[in-house]
Amino acid sequence: MAKHGKKTKALARKSVGKRKAPGLKALARAGIRLLHKFGPRQADPKTSDKSTTSSPALSAEWPLSPAATLGSSVRTKGIERELRAQLPWAVRKFVKAETGRIVLRMPESEAREFEAVSAKVSKTVEEIEVLPVLPREAEDVLTISSRERHKWLKDGRLQSIGTRTVKMRGRSKAVTFHVFDPRHIEDVLDRDLAVVWREEDAQEVADNRRRGAAKAVLTRAGKVNAAAVRKARKPDDPRPSLQDWEAFEDEGLLR
């Protein structure tokens, strides 16, 4: 029985090893059957027409000078938001501020709107260099922190040209903040005044610390001296007597 079982296993292994892969003709026939079953996919005319019509065929460009962006990507994004705020909601997405240029791309089906939007953008671009600088834009241009901006604005080193009130999305109350003249920010940047002001602040902090330490030393020394005087005085010592004190009091000079 054992020998018979071993022969059966050996024959099974041989039969498994001798199995052939399916031939090319069998694979071809299977492919034909699948093709007949499912059929080739055809393009949807609706989606194809939509993709062709939505492609931007109308475009216009305007130069965006470094004097307007001040070399800041945050300022560039702020200019883009300002441009879009001047346009109707439906066409705002077609305007984009890129490095060195402002681009308007619209589908060919909106040719009438394209002319109106182009005229509006052209008018806004003419005044883009005098657009007030927002707080975050000033921080990015000058590479300063919010604390430094608040401090320098309070002591007059950063000069504000006014305030702007904006209703922020998701907030119940409006936010009011100071805005800056782009030429003033450019002057601070060219003269590297942020570094100078930062060094002056550090020196002022060091001087205040030294004065505070000296004052603390004097205060402690004064307390020690007063305690020593009180300790040196004896309670049995007679008080000094003043001559003619009664006559002085009778004159009423102490009243």
Among 158, 127, 118, smallest CA distance to 142 is for: 158
Contacts of 24 (CB under 8 A, 6+ apart): none
Question: Which CATH number describes the domain made up of 54-129?
Answer: 3.30.1360
Render pLDDT for 145-201 as a digit per residue (tens, 0 to 9): 999 999 999 999 999 999 998 887 777 788 899 999 999 999 999 999 999 999 999
Question: Of all residues in the chain, what percent carry a pLDDT higher than 70?
Answer: 65
Residue 15 pLDDT greater than 60, yes or no? no
pLDDT tens by residue, 235-253: 565 655 656 666 666 666 5
Residue 202 reports pLDDT greater than 80: yes
Residues 6+ apart with CB under 8 A from 23: none
Distance of CA 18 to the CA centre of its chain: 70
- pTM of the predicted model over 0.85: no
- Tens digits of per-residue pLDDT, 93-134? 999 999 899 999 999 888 889 999 999 999 999 989 999 999
**For residue 16, what pLDDT is reported?**
46
